[in-house]
């Protein structure tokens, strides 16, 4: 006869406590293999999208590179300031108590906060010796002194540069008035965009004159009605003579401010009167 053994309640509990950890581990293992995927964090997906390649034009390709070397000469045929680094400028002030100032380019002179109070400037050459003019410099020298070889024309070029800096009315009769017509034309070609570019052009074209003697002729003053730009100091005298030397008119400050007529081949002589300018 076969006997059947009945488990007691205590034995069942012991058995369940023994099997429960193994069953729990089996359930976790089955869950891990089921393929369920935890959603990826939002920041991770944005990061992935932001790394997508984007085609953009290179900044260096879209803009001209900055110049890294100085220019090769003053080249002011186009009105550009001297950037060669081969010239310097010593400028005096209308106030004699103010010391002279040195600048390294025309652009510096023109940008000076004291520009309108500068009387005049002297240009100096700081480059290699012997002086070898650029093509533009040679052209300016040829205008200023047609009979001089450009390589020998440094002084002429420095004079033209000086006229391009700043010339006050007080110094105009001396610097502009006594400069040759060729030199004034050279300066006008050299720096047409200077603050005084238009003024230099008036002197170069014969529409302005200072104290001295001037003929109304080719390369001199143009015919027309002239007057004194400002009230001259005491002692102003002037006269107009015909080509044969006969006197046509004369006077002082009052008549000069009212205006005088200059005709072809006339000669204007002015002393202590300041600047004459053609009237429109």
pLDDT tens track for 108-136: 999 999 999 999 999 999 999 999 999 99
pLDDT tens track for 24-68: 444 444 444 444 444 443 333 323 333 333 343 333 333 333 333
What mean pLDDT is reported for the chain? 79
pLDDT of residue 218: 87
Q: Supply angle C-alpha 18, 19, 20, rounded to 5.
A: 100
Q: Which residues pair with 266 in a beta bridge?
A: none
Which of these ranges, 52-61, 77-86, 113-122, 253-262, has the smallest mean pLDDT?
52-61
pLDDT of residue 81: 64
What integer is the mean pLDDT of 237-260?
A: 95
Q: Is the pLDDT of residue 20 over 60?
A: no
In order, the DSSP letters of the chain are ----PPPPHHHHHHHHHHHHHHHHHHHHHHHHTT---PPPPHHHHHHHHHTS------HHHHSPPPP-S--SS--GGGTPPP-SS-EEEEEEESSTTSPPEEESSHHHHHH-TTGGGEEEEEEEE-S-SS----HHHHHHHHHH-TTS-GGG-HHHHHHHHHHTT---HHHHHHHTTTS-HHHHHHHHHH-TTSTTHHHHHHHHTTSEE-SEEEEBSTTSBPSEEEEESSPPPTT-EEEEE-TTS-EEEEE-HHHHHH-EEE-TT-EEEEES---EEE--
What percent of the chain clears pLDDT 70, i.e. is strictly above it? 71
pLDDT of residue 82: 74
pLDDT of residue 219: 85
């Amino acid at each position: 006869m076969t006997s059947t053994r009945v488990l007691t309640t205590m034995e069942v509990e012991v058995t369940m406590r023994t099997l429960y950890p193994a069953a729990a581990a089996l359930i976790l293992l089955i869950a891990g293999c089921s393929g369920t995927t935890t959603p990826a964090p939002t920041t991770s997906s944005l990061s992935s999208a932001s790394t997508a390649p984007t085609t953009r034009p290179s900044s260096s390709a879209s803009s001209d590179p900055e110049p890294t070397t100085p220019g090769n000469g003053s080249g002011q045929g186009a009105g550009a300031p001297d950037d060669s680094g081969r010239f310097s400028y010593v400028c005096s002030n209308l106030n004699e108590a103010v010391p002279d100032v040195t600048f390294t380019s025309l652009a510096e002179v023109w940008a000076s906060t004291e520009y309108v109070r500068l009387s005049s400037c002297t240009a100096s050459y700081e480059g290699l010796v012997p002086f070898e003019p650029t093509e533009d410099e040679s052209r300016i020298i040829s205008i200023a002194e047609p009979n001089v070889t450009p390589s020998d024309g440094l002084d002429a070029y420095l004079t033209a540069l000086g006229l391009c800096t700043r010339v006050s009315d007080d110094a105009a009769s001396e610097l502009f008035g006594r400069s040759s017509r060729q030199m004034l034309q050279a300066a006008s070609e050299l720096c047409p965009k200077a603050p005084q570019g238009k003024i230099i052009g008036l002197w170069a074209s014969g529409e302005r004159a200072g104290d001295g003697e001037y003929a109304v002729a080719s390369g001199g003053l143009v015919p027309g009605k002239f007057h004194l730009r400002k009230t001259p100091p005491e002692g102003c005298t002037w006269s107009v003579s015909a080509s044969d030397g006969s006197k046509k008119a004369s006077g002082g400050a009052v008549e000069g401010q009212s205006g005088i007529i200059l005709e072809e081949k006339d000669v204007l002589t002015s002393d202590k009167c300041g600047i004459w300018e053609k009237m429109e």
